[in-house]
Structure 1
């Protein structure tokens, strides 16, 4: 087989020039791909959406397979590279969020349009446009050379938008298919500044429901006030017991196991551009949470767990009643080293001691994941970006959000690096989701350079 250096020499032009030469075809292909709904939460577009993803994998020159488990299928593609070349697993997801209220969109969510230098439609940025860039990079190698610089497996998740509930079990059951040296996932956005970046981890998440039950039905507050216990009061008192007035979490051992940031991580965070007042102003605030004074913006997002009340459901603000039930949704974002089950047990023990009248249920839990920023692959990924853009990317130790990255670092036991390929204002999960065309075209060229760098 041809090695990476020979493949680069045999290409008729640079990756960026090749992409520019077929940009109309690439844009049209992505718009066609986005036009097929694939909403995992509701099933809209399935099972046809899986077939569409399989066809795109075939067009990229890979041998496709479909892994069917208890949920939406995984679509896998594989092609061997030169003997001795590394094996990279490229992860994305072909499912998308529900469109939401149609009246809040400027165009039909699943009829993509090209306007103002952007492709508008559900799934453009999250995540079809991002993994489509990888697939088109593979297709261009196939068409121009008939070979790849390294061995590639593409993994397209059909359930990422609902938490990838079956991904871990499916990977364990088919471990031999994913025996790779490195995972590169493309999701989320470039840095808020617009600069390209390379990411090395995400926080985990623990989701809880905390509930209280009172009378068998809602009661007249005048006829039964001071007689019937009020589950709404029981719930808010239970929630209040979790933090002191300053915002410090009171659950014993809440952040035990947390792996602190390394000196290299802290240096990388310090190098990231940040206009804090602009960030706060954009969300209508003037200062950060005082409970974490002394910590920087990025340390708060990557180096500490959170405890967040997402919402409370009880009673009726328009009726004078004692409600019969009260429930709160709570999430805890976990840092590297924390186990979701252990944290749940500590929260449950705290509530048993301080609010025994409430119940707490674990809805779901995903561990955090972190790859050392000093790993040998990051310089290659960074060079792929700089070859196309002429600029060195930002290095991000970890994101504050959550992705199923732990299945790669935990189950497969390999480094996992994030290569976000969408613009920061993509409006993912919101109306008018979009992908900037210039980012998409550069992303496709970067994906070609990535394989050349990894195979070199």
Structure 2
């Protein structure tokens, strides 16, 4: 693939932007809220239809929850296979009065497409679908075999995806997986992300009396569950940020040298703290950079605490907290959960623990054979090399590709930093959507030069 060919791809996309925007807007009109069922099952049929319109042989794969949609289009004999993952479900709308537009009536304004699902994730996977369609029209075929799977449950944690991937392992077999989700780097630069942190959500509950009692009449008599809970939480982490749960760090796989070198080349992102009214990063982690805190370290976070009533002089009868642990490569939710359970049994046996979610982490080393080609294709379209990010701080079900399917998985996000995914006024910059189509066309063309398995 040469520069002239890549420039032609971008020219083709921008020359047809009216058509490409109309198609996306129509797609975004279809509700697909997995948490409530709004828009289903029509949303599944619409997703399958979009794969067919892109020239793929499509089918619905049923799960115990919302279905996945799968499509395939073959490239030349012996060509590599690229599997593209996205999700067609979206978050609930939330408070409608906070939206500047009607969430499922897309509007283009100020250079952005405003709609629920525009950035997360319909606009991003739709860019890949249009890239496949335009490549087929221009060449009469594809340079690689393309498989696309659209998840119907990502926004509720993809609880059935692992079982489906195991069951459909042969149909999903590929040389590399590409996913486009979340925003580009906080600097606004294009990037290739090589992993995600996992997450373990845990509820904690302490209850003593069957109702709140007077703090004077029963102070020092009735035990206070709030004290039990805060002591339990305090026992889990020291002032330097180190998690004190025995064995917590035992399975962590350190970043390789290529990944650490990539970290050193990333722009500092701590300037974004000012947007939240925060003056500096958490001092517990010393001189670690913003990016290293996200890519290399697990976390232990108190999401919320509740007990009693600050307006009344009472001893509360129960106390609740919710914590999450962001996991890094090597850690497994089930193993960390048992270590938390053992810690509480020793330090706070009255605390009842409940697992709320568990998604493993995933990471593809930066020094893999696909990243240089993807980066070259992206640079040819955008005019600058992308940042190479070892891992993002958030969580996606990427582990199913690394650990179940057994192939590298690389993220090429197309959304703007302020896409407001999950919030009101979700949006996608028009230029990001169009550039994403051209990037996908270039990446698929460039990957044709890799060696198929």
2: distance between equivalents of 1:445 and 1:420? 13
2: distance between equivalents of 1:440 and 1:321? 55
Determine which of 101, 122, 129 is the counterpart of 1:107: 101
Give the CA deviation at 1:12.
12
Residue 248 of structure 1 corresponds to 242
1: distance between equivalents of 2:318 and 2:442? 57
1:443 matches 2:436: yes
1:170 matches 2:184: no
1:285-304 residue pairs with structure 2 within 5 A? Answer: 285-304=278-297
Give the CA deviation at 1:335.
0.8
Residue 273 of structure 1 corresponds to 267
Give the CA deviation at 1:192.
1.1
Residue 136 of structure 1 corresponds to 130
Instruction: Single out whichever of 415-424 and 288-297 deviates more from structure 2.
Output: 288-297
2: distance between equivalents of 1:247 and 1:202? 21
Residue 322 of structure 1 corresponds to 315
Determine which of 301, 310, 320 is the counterpart of 1:308: 301
1:10-159 residue pairs with structure 2 within 5 A? Answer: 14-159=8-153
Residue 380 of structure 1 corresponds to 373
2: distance between equivalents of 1:212 and 1:201? 36
Residue 361 of structure 2 corresponds to 368
Residue 352 of structure 2 corresponds to 359
Residue 204 of structure 1 corresponds to 198
Residue 341 of structure 1 corresponds to 334
| TM-score for both structures, normalised by structure 1 | 0.95
Give the CA deviation at 1:244.
2.3
Q: Is the 8 A contact 2:132 2:441 kept in 1?
A: yes
Count of residue correspondences: 449
Give the CA deviation at 1:421.
0.8
SS in 2 for 1:446: helix
Q: Deviations over 1:313-368 (max 9, x none)?
A: 32223333332222111100011011211111111111110111111122221111
Classify 1:239/1:143 alpha carbon distance in 2 versus 1 (closer, same or farther; 3 Å).
Answer: same
User: Which 5+ residue runs of structure 1 have no aligned equivalent?
Assistant: none
Q: Deviations over 1:263-289 (max 9, x none)?
A: 11111111111253x222222222221
1:350 matches 2:343: yes
Classify 1:203/1:226 alpha carbon distance in 2 versus 1 (closer, same or farther; 3 Å).
Answer: same
1:418 matches 2:405: no
1: distance between equivalents of 2:446 and 2:388? 17
1: distance between equivalents of 2:28 and 2:310? 42
Classify 1:366/1:131 alpha carbon distance in 2 versus 1 (closer, same or farther; 3 Å).
Answer: same
Determine which of 192, 215, 222 is the counterpart of 2:186: 192
1: distance between equivalents of 2:44 and 2:128? 18
2: distance between equivalents of 1:146 and 1:95? 31
Instruction: Single out whichever of 286-295 and 402-411 deviates more from structure 2.
Output: 286-295
1: distance between equivalents of 2:318 and 2:306? 8
Give the CA deviation at 1:63.
0.6
User: Which 5+ residue runs of structure 2 have no aligned equivalent?
Assistant: none
2: distance between equivalents of 1:12 and 1:211? 57
Give the CA deviation at 1:255.
0.9
1:233 matches 2:221: no
2: distance between equivalents of 1:163 and 1:396? 23
SS in 2 for 1:88: strand
Determine which of 401, 404, 415 is the counterpart of 2:397: 404
What CA RMSD, in Å, does the superposition of the two structures yield over aligned residues?
1.7
1:392 matches 2:385: yes
Classify 1:275/1:61 alpha carbon distance in 2 versus 1 (closer, same or farther; 3 Å).
Answer: closer
SS in 2 for 1:295: coil
Classify 1:185/1:275 alpha carbon distance in 2 versus 1 (closer, same or farther; 3 Å).
Answer: closer
Q: Is the 8 A contact 2:268 2:289 kept in 1?
A: no
| TM-score for both structures, normalised by structure 2 | 0.96
Determine which of 312, 324, 327 is the counterpart of 1:331: 324
Classify 1:268/1:12 alpha carbon distance in 2 versus 1 (closer, same or farther; 3 Å).
Answer: closer
